[in-house]
Structure 1
Amino acid sequence: MTRTEVDTAETGQGGAGRQGGAGQGDTGSGTWRAGLRRVFRGVFRPGLWKRGPVLAALALLLGLLMLLHAEITDYGGLGSLVETFLPWFGLFVPVLLAGAVWRRSASVVVALLLPVTVWLSLFGGLLGDRSHSGGDLVVAGHNVGADNPDPAGTARDLVASGADVLGLEEVTPQARPVYEKALARAYPYHTVLGTVGLWSRLPLSDVRPVDTEMDAGPLGEAKPAAVKLSYNRALRATVATSRGPLAVYVAHLGSVRVMPRMGFWTDSRDRNAKALAKAVAAEANGRVVLLGDLNGTTDDRAFAGLISRLRSVQDEAGDGFGFTWPAEFPVARIDQILVRGVEPASSWVLPATDSDHRPVAAGISW
């Protein structure tokens, strides 16, 4: 074989080797590009976006419902009803997402971005622990329940909470002596006006009832003082702390009812809320704590007057949603601790007692 033939053979082998290497690289690149093209074709396949129009519409409506809840009419209490259980509307998101997977619908997945974004903007901040160390005073509130079969046991549980100031609602005339006896050692200062009471480790002064009802009867006549006091559902007192006087309100607003002909009936509660907001607005003390069963959540429009003047310790220093009612399986936080002029350090729900509400507590600081 001549040198030229050897060179040609070597050149051909080298060229073939180089061509084979290039071909293998092209094959890998082509496979990757082909896979990417298949993905894009799948995503933009018309059928994938046309499936599930009803589910997509429901997802958008869910998002708009949460976004515009304040615009829902309150006829028949509908607006208040929606706002009371507003956090639970987020449960519809995984249901709709499961429907999107089952239908293989891209449009439903995209539509779900609206309710997810709205829900997180409303309640995402409540998912973590917002409490921090510190706190000069521990306050607690509890609707002890008019039908509580063991008021003495409930009193012992409340003493164990370590609260410095304790506000109770639904204190019946029959149970009042039991609470006074069981709480006397831990709380040497106390007052009970009507069905609400305040127990304190610190001295109390300037105690007075807060009229959350109309001053006149159904025919316009003035209600006798004894009648007003016996049905009194709110009080105000000054607690003498080492950091100065603290105005404490204890309130139990009117109940709400679901009635076939009237819908979600909130008239009594709404009237009480406005009167209480008026009393708080007139409060001269810059440091205020409100302990109460408000029969509604802070998302409810009925409490706009209160929330504009007071802050929720649960929203600022709680852990989770802090639901309190019903005690067996809480679905709403209707027992509130609201403050002004002091800083919430922590907020928590105490273990259930024999009441149908769970007690709430909070640490506050100056």
Structure 2
Amino acid sequence: MPVARVHKVMKVETSPAPTATAPGHRRALPPARRSARRGRITATLAVLTTLLMLLHGWIPNRIANFGSFVQTFLPWTGVAVVLLSAAALLRRSRVALISVLLPALTWAALHGGTFLDRGAGGAADLTVVTHNVDDVNPDPAGTARALAASGAQLIALEELTDPAVREYEQTLAGTHPYHVVEGTVGLWSTYPLRDTAPVPIMPWTRALRATADTPAGPLTVYVAHLPSVRVRLGSGFTTERRNAAAGRLAGALAGAPAGRTLLVGDFNGTTDDRALAPVTGRFRSAHDEAGAGFGFTWPERFPVARIDQILVRDLTPVSAWTLPATASDHLPVAASLRF
């Protein structure tokens, strides 16, 4: 009887052949890698913004005075922080969101205290106002009345013209009987003024010195208007004339008598601008010590920088603020001081 043979069939399992990727298509990245890739540009910009804020003092002025430009508008790096935060949220990237914390915390450390009221409190002995009144001001008399209403004992004016000077003299005569005008700058006072003289910082007079005899003793006052700066294609931030005038002003201040001193006026620059350090480094800013907010003064409709300054030596700032707009393109600034 034939024997049936049983054959065992072996099944060999093989892995399926890889599916060919269609031309023009990439394999999907894991979610974590996709998030990192989406936030790469935002994270890079966040780090660069942080470095800009921390190392602005190292940015050279050799090329287009870029260092001074950055320092003039340094508070506006906060706008970059807001835009970077929005970009990180839109990209839904954890890497970008974490990276944006760097410039956000840096900005808060540098400027957060600006929004606190830094006033010393207590009584003040003197209030001073300084204002670039604009050489095309259509209402000098109205501007003078607004400044007198502040109650300031000292009112410094810059960018005066001959016709306007007569209106300021007539309007302020009743409240500020003592005054001196040198070139395009002037000082009106409720206290007697003496030892008045121009300070040569430019070919024409844009600075003066005077001594005010206050009830607490003599006070040396300097009023200055440094040259304007411009941003131009090809030449950048043009500060050369301003810096040269600041150097001459610094030389005059070096020979000033010791004691209580005020330096006020339109500097066409902020106290952060290193190019003005020969002048600002000798004094303390009333607004930085006793103001609230950034106190931007120019242009008056949408101020972007505080270029009008009240600087003090051997005086204590009690409070500092900007006054309401006049017919000028600058806002007036005021400070109350204690001897």
TM bracket, shorter-chain basis:
0.7 to 0.9
AA of the residue aligned to 1:106? R
Aligned to 2:188, the other structure's residue is in SS state strand
Corresponding pairs, count: 307
Structure 2: how far apart are the matches of 1:179 and 1:112?
A: 51
Residue aligning to 1:269:
242
Structure 2: how far apart are the matches of 1:265 and 1:360?
A: 25
Structure 2: how far apart are the matches of 1:85 and 1:199?
A: 32
AA of the residue aligned to 1:93? V
Residue aligning to 1:84:
72
Q: 1:176 pairs with 150, 157, 165, which one?
A: 165
Cα deviation, residue 50, structure 1: 4.0
Structure 1: how far apart are the matches of 2:220 and 2:100?
A: 46
Residue aligning to 2:231:
258
Q: 2:296 pairs with 302, 323, 347, which one?
A: 323
Residue aligning to 1:365:
338
CA contact (8 A) 1:100 1:108 kept: yes
Q: TM-score, normalised by structure 2?
A: 0.88
AA of the residue aligned to 2:328? S
Residue aligning to 2:256:
283
AA of the residue aligned to 2:70? V
Q: Out of 260-269 and 245-254, give the one that drifted further.
A: 260-269
AA of the residue aligned to 1:145? D
Cα deviation, residue 148, structure 1: 0.2
Structure 2: how far apart are the matches of 1:64 and 1:345?
A: 34
Aligned to 2:128, the other structure's residue is in SS state strand
- Does residue 334 (structure 1) correspond to residue 307 (structure 2)? The answer is yes
Cα deviation, residue 247, structure 1: 0.6
Residue aligning to 1:67:
54
Q: 2:38 pairs with 51, 61, 69, which one?
A: 51
Aligned to 2:337, the other structure's residue is in SS state strand
Aligned to 1:357, the other structure's residue is in SS state coil
Q: 2:194 pairs with 199, 205, 208, which one?
A: 205
Q: 1:154 pairs with 143, 147, 152, which one?
A: 143
- Does residue 309 (structure 1) correspond to residue 296 (structure 2)? The answer is no
Aligned to 1:319, the other structure's residue is in SS state coil
Aligned to 2:325, the other structure's residue is in SS state coil
For residues 82-138 of structure 1, what are the alpha-carbon distances to aligned partners after superposition, in whole Å with 9 as ceiling and x for unaligned? Answer: 111110111111211111112221211222222122212221221111122321000
AA of the residue aligned to 1:207? T
Cα deviation, residue 198, structure 1: 0.4
Residue aligning to 1:223:
none
AA of the residue aligned to 1:172? T
Structure 2: how far apart are the matches of 1:125 and 1:247?
A: 31
Higher helix share: 1
Aligned to 2:117, the other structure's residue is in SS state coil
Cα deviation, residue 284, structure 1: 1.3
Structure 2: give runs of 5+ residues left out of the alignment.
1-30
Q: Out of 177-186 and 110-119, give the one that drifted further.
A: 110-119
Structure 2: how far apart are the matches of 1:107 and 1:342?
A: 49
Residue aligning to 2:12:
none
Q: TM-score, normalised by structure 1?
A: 0.81
Residue aligning to 2:324:
351
Runs of 4+ in 1 over 2 A off after TM superposition: 44-51
Aligned to 1:112, the other structure's residue is in SS state helix
AA of the residue aligned to 1:344? P
- Does residue 187 (structure 1) correspond to residue 160 (structure 2)? The answer is no
CA contact (8 A) 1:288 1:341 kept: yes
Structure 1: give runs of 5+ residues left out of the alignment.
1-43, 214-227
Structure 2: how far apart are the matches of 1:173 and 1:111?
A: 56
AA of the residue aligned to 2:148? V
Structure 2: how far apart are the matches of 1:103 and 1:113?
A: 16
Cα deviation, residue 155, structure 1: 0.7
AA of the residue aligned to 1:78? F
Q: CA RMSD in A?
A: 1.4
For residues 206-245 of structure 1, what are the alpha-carbon distances to aligned partners after superposition, in whole Å with 9 as ceiling and x for unaligned? Answer: 11111113xxxxxxxxxxxxxx5xx200001111111111
Structure 2: how far apart are the matches of 1:173 and 1:77?
A: 35
Aligned to 1:76, the other structure's residue is in SS state coil
Structure 2: how far apart are the matches of 1:287 and 1:281?
A: 14
Identity over aligned pairs, percent: 54
Q: 1:137 pairs with 116, 121, 126, which one?
A: 126
